[in-house]
Amino acid sequence: MRQKFVVGNWKLNKTIAEALALVTELKNQLGAVKGVQIGVAPTFVALPSVAKRLEGSNIATCAQNTHWEASGAWTGELSAPLLAEAGASWVIVGHSERRQHFGDTNETVGKKAVATIAAGLGAIVCVGETLAERDGNRTLPIVDDQLAGALGGIAAAATPKLVIAYEPVWAIGTGRTATPGQAQEVHAHIRKRLAERYGQVIADGIRIQYGGSVKPSNAESLMAERDIDGALVGGASLEAADFIAIVKAARPS
């Protein structure tokens, strides 16, 4: 059985002080939750203090992005080894906001995923179609291209460090969630592609999160779907009560 994995993606939100207040509350209130893997992804500047505050807890610290090189002349960038040193254990790569606004491509997302895993961290690789792509019946081919780019350098032996997040772009921050059925269809397709690449046994062990307007009111029905193994939560992860409710909805029944 795949353990569900719920990650809060804080994006460019929270001061360092606010980030610490939120994780302190999460740590206190989620400490007794069993059977769910939990993570939060603060901004880079809040990450070291958040990681320190979460030491010894059941909540992992995640980064929102990385560069693919370990060091060098890349002004303004951060590397996976640095993120590991700062206390991160996972990195979100290829989020649609990075693809849309910061030039991430299928190729660079693949390089970032490889660099993340090489640094000993887990990679949460995001894929998902825009509204125009869905309306044009291109959801599955778009996701296929994104997966091919991201997974090209990831060998079967590295897959314990791999999580996929299916995030339809039209559902991110819009309040418009994919229905459980719409999401499950794409998740099942992703698992089929993972099985073609790595074999069924490995594919059955890789977690596929859903992201896009996940809230306490829809989390349970989404995660009840067979191939939905957790959530990548944006807006609702900024409020302790909402995030806690989503994590609790992921508990094994």
Residues labelled as active-site residues? 95, 167
**Structure token digits, residue 252:** 């094994």
How far is residue 93 CA from its own chain's centroid?
8
Contact between 126 and 95 under an 8 Å Cβ cutoff? The reply is: yes
211 is a contact residue toward ligand PGA (CB under 6 A): yes
19 is a contact residue toward ligand PGA (CB under 6 A): no
173 is a contact residue toward ligand PGA (CB under 6 A): yes
Nearer to ligand PGA, 10 or 198 (CB): 10
The answer for residues whose C-beta is within 8 angstroms of residue 134's C-beta and 6 or more apart is: 168, 170
234 is a contact residue toward ligand PGA (CB under 6 A): yes
Q: State the minimum distance, in angstroms, from the CB of residue 15 to ligand PGA.
A: 19
Q: State the minimum distance, in angstroms, from the CB of residue 135 to ligand PGA.
A: 19
Nearer to ligand PGA, 123 or 158 (CB): 123
Local structure of residue 177 (DSSP, 8 states): P
Q: Which residue is nearest to ligand PGA (CB)?
A: 234
Contact between 129 and 142 under an 8 Å Cβ cutoff? The reply is: yes
Residues 51-110 that bind ligand PGA (CB under 6 A): none
CA distances from 97 to 61, 90, 128, 168, 251 (A): 20, 18, 11, 12, 29
Cβ burial, residue 115 (10 Å; 0-12/13-18/19+) = buried
133 is a contact residue toward ligand PGA (CB under 6 A): no
168 is a contact residue toward ligand PGA (CB under 6 A): no
Residue 164 has phi, psi (to 5 degrees) of -105, 140
213 is a contact residue toward ligand PGA (CB under 6 A): yes
Nearer to ligand PGA, 10 or 68 (CB): 10
Nearer to ligand PGA, 236 or 250 (CB): 236
Q: State the minimum distance, in angstroms, from the CB of residue 211 to ligand PGA.
A: 4
Stretch that binds ligand PGA, among 49-57, 98-106, 130-138, 234-242 (CB under 6 A): 234-242
Nearer to ligand PGA, 23 or 219 (CB): 219
Size of the site for ligand PGA (CB under 6 A): 13
Q: CA neighbours within 13 Å on the CB side: how many for 243?
A: 27
Contact between 116 and 74 under an 8 Å Cβ cutoff? The reply is: no
The answer for residues whose C-beta is within 8 angstroms of residue 94's C-beta and 6 or more apart is: 104, 109, 112, 113, 125, 126, 127, 146, 150
* Binding residue (CB under 6 A) for ligand PGA from 172, 183, 240, 250: 172
State the residues that interact with ligand PGA by CB under 6 A.
9, 167, 172-173, 211-214, 232-236
